[in-house]
Amino acid sequence: MKETILVEHLEKVFYSQNDMEIIALTDMNLRVPENEFLCILGPSGCGKSTLLRIIAGLEKASSGRVFYNGREHTKPCREIGMVFQSYSLMPWLNVLDNIALGLEFAGVSKPERMAIAREYLDMIGMSNFGKAFPYELSGGMQQRVAIARALANNPDVLLMDEPFGALDAYTRIIMQKELLRIWEQRKKTIIFVTHSVDEAVYLADRIILMSGNPGRIKKEIAITIPRVRERSNPRYGELTSELLALLEGA
């Protein structure tokens, strides 16, 4: 299978205030085939966000390279979308205008982009909230809008940085189901960062387990449980405990 994202020998060093070196990532290598749902799992501070930001082109690598469809990728572009953990909506735009923002940047005419935005608004089940402003929405609703905004741009790759981290357990489960449905429907390559073992086992085709100091890949596990996955499935429980044990040693 053709790979969509390829990461080669990626290294990222930050310098702290007192010029101390912080090695956020070292020798990261990653192949993400087309239409894969990849989860990156790891303790906080292990460099997950940094990896995603470099893939998005928001941050420069210290060394190593990122390829998208075989070409080196260094700058953000609309083919690679990203959903942040929280508070990423433009507070001065209403929900519809937020969803349509990427299309506005792309020069899509107003009636056309509004029609598309409405379609995604319906998809996230918020048809009545088009004119609402972000401050009028709960955290879960804001996050749904952020996802709709990323999807409305019809990106090829979707990078998601703990997008459900700020949500309550119930909303989170609903959103996970919803995301899988969209992924199956629209066929996208998704790199999904989380520190929740359960979330990773529920969502992923494959899990990359990272460990910190310095951030690197510790293990790779393919999840072959057929979807929709039942949390009561014994295989599900086994994988979860295995990963938890690995995380503890990470």
Ligand X SMILES: Nc1ncnc2c1ncn2[C@@H]1O[C@H](COP(=O)(O)OP(=O)(O)O)[C@@H](O)[C@H]1O
Distance CA 128, CA 147 (A): 17
Query: Between the CA of residue 235 and those of 16, 152, 180, 239, 240, what are the distances in Å?
Result: 43, 36, 20, 6, 9
Note whether 182 binds ligand X by CB under 6 A: no
Note whether 77 binds other proteins by CB under 8 A: yes
Binding string, 16-55, against Mg ion, x = CB under 5 A?
Answer: ---------------------------------x------
* Half-sphere exposure at residue 19, Cβ-oriented, CA atoms within 13 angstroms: 0
| CA dihedral (76, 78, 81, 85) positive or negative | positive
Does 214 sit behind a cis peptide bond, omega within 30 degrees of 0 on the bond before it?
Answer: yes
Note whether 245 binds other proteins by CB under 8 A: no
Note whether 60 binds ligand X by CB under 6 A: no
Nearer to Mg ion, 53 or 113 (CB): 53
Note whether 81 binds ligand X by CB under 6 A: no
In 3D space, the residue among 172, 236, 171 whose CA is nearest the CA of residue 207 turns out to be 236
Specify whether the CB–CB gap between 209 and 218 falls below 8 A: yes
Binding string, 12-51, against other proteins, x = CB under 8 A?
Answer: ----------------------------------------
Stretch that binds other proteins, among 113-121, 134-142, 172-180, 212-220 (CB under 8 A): 134-142
Q: How far is the CB of 135 from other proteins (least distance, A)?
A: 4
Note whether 132 binds other proteins by CB under 8 A: no
